[in-house]
Chains A and B, each alone.
Chain A
Amino acid sequence: MTARPVRRLAEQDNLRLLKGRRLRRPTLAPWMLMVLIGVVAFLGLGFARTSLDRSAFDLAELSKAISEETATNRQMNLEIARLVNPARISPLAEELGLVIPDTTKQLLVDLTPEIPVVAGAEGEGNNQ
Chain B
Amino acid sequence: MAAPKAARRLQPSKVRVAVIGLAVVAAWMGMGYRLFQIQVVQAADLAEQGLNQRLVSRDLAPQRGKIFDRNGELLAMTVQAQSIYAVPSQVEEPLWVAQQIGGPLGADTDVLYQRLISDREFVYIKRQVEDVVADEVLGLEIRGVYSHPEPTRIYPAGAVASHVTGFVNIDGDGQEGLELVYDEELRGTPGKAEFERDLQGRVIPQGYSRIVPAIPGVDLNTTIDLPLQYQAQQACVLALEQTGAISCWVVVLAVETGEVLAMVGAPIFDPQTRQTQDPSCEQAEDPVACRAFSNFIVRGIYEPGSTQKLITVAAALEEGEVSIGTVFPEVPDELELRDDACRFADDELYGCYRDFENHATEDMSVAQIFTRSSNIGTIKIAETLGQDRLIQYIEAFGLGSKTGIDYTAEAPGILNFEAGCATCWASAAIGYSVAVTPLQMAAAYAAIGNDGIWTTPHIVSSKTDVDGETQVAGMQTRRVVSSGTALLMRELLALVVEKGTGAAAAIDGYRVGGKTGTANKLGDDGRYTETTRASFVGMAPINDPKVVVAVLIDAPSFDYRTGGLSAAPVFAAVMKQALHRLGVTPDGHQR
Binary CB contact string for chain A from 37 to 73 against chain B (1 if under 8 A, 0 otherwise): 0000000000001001100110010000000000100
Decide: A86 near B77, CB < 8 A? Known: A56-B205, A81-B157: no
Binary CB contact string for chain B from 579 to 591 against chain A (1 if under 8 A, 0 otherwise): 0000000101000
Contact, CB under 8 Å: B157 / A85: yes
- A82 partner residues in chain B, CB cutoff 8 A: 156
Chain A, residue nearest B75 (CB): A81
From A60, A81, A104, B74 is in contact (CB under 8 Å) with: A81
Please report whether the interface of chain A is mostly helix, strand, loop or mixed according to DSSP.
helix
Binary CB contact string for chain B from 64 to 106 against chain A (1 if under 8 A, 0 otherwise): 0000000001100101100000000000000000000000000
Contact, CB under 8 Å: A86 / B79: no
Binary CB contact string for chain B from 151 to 167 against chain A (1 if under 8 A, 0 otherwise): 00010111110000000
Whether A118 is near chain B, meaning CB under 8 Å from some CB there, is: no
Chain B, residue nearest A83 (CB): B156
Whether A108 is near chain B, meaning CB under 8 Å from some CB there, is: yes
Contact, CB under 8 Å: B77 / A85: no
- B227 partner residues in chain A, CB cutoff 8 A: 86
- B205 partner residues in chain A, CB cutoff 8 A: 52-53, 56-57, 60
Contact, CB under 8 Å: A71 / B156: no
Binary CB contact string for chain A from 91 to 128 against chain B (1 if under 8 A, 0 otherwise): 00000000000011010100000000000000000000
Contact, CB under 8 Å: B156 / A81: yes
In the complex, which range does the number of interface residues on chain B fall in? 20 to 34
Whether B283 is near chain A, meaning CB under 8 Å from some CB there, is: no
Distance in angstroms between the alpha carbons of A74 and B79 in the assembled complex:
7
Contact, CB under 8 Å: A104 / B158: no
Name the distance in Å between B580's Cβ and chain A's nearest Cβ.
9
Name the distance in Å between A77's Cβ and chain B's nearest Cβ.
7
Name the distance in Å between A78's Cβ and chain B's nearest Cβ.
6
In the complex, which range does the number of interface residues on chain A fall in? 20 to 34
Name the distance in Å between B19's Cβ and chain A's nearest Cβ.
42
Whether B509 is near chain A, meaning CB under 8 Å from some CB there, is: yes
Distance in angstroms between the alpha carbons of A22 and B512 in the assembled complex:
123
- B214 partner residues in chain A, CB cutoff 8 A: none
Distance in angstroms between the alpha carbons of A81 and B161 in the assembled complex:
13
**Which of A53, A77, A78, A87 has most chain B Cβ within 10 Å?**
A87
Whether B194 is near chain A, meaning CB under 8 Å from some CB there, is: no
Ordered by A's residue number, 11 sampled pairs between the chains whose C-beta atoms are within 8 Å are A52-B206, A53-B206, A74-B79, A77-B77, A81-B156, A81-B157, A85-B157, A86-B226, A104-B508, A106-B509, A106-B586
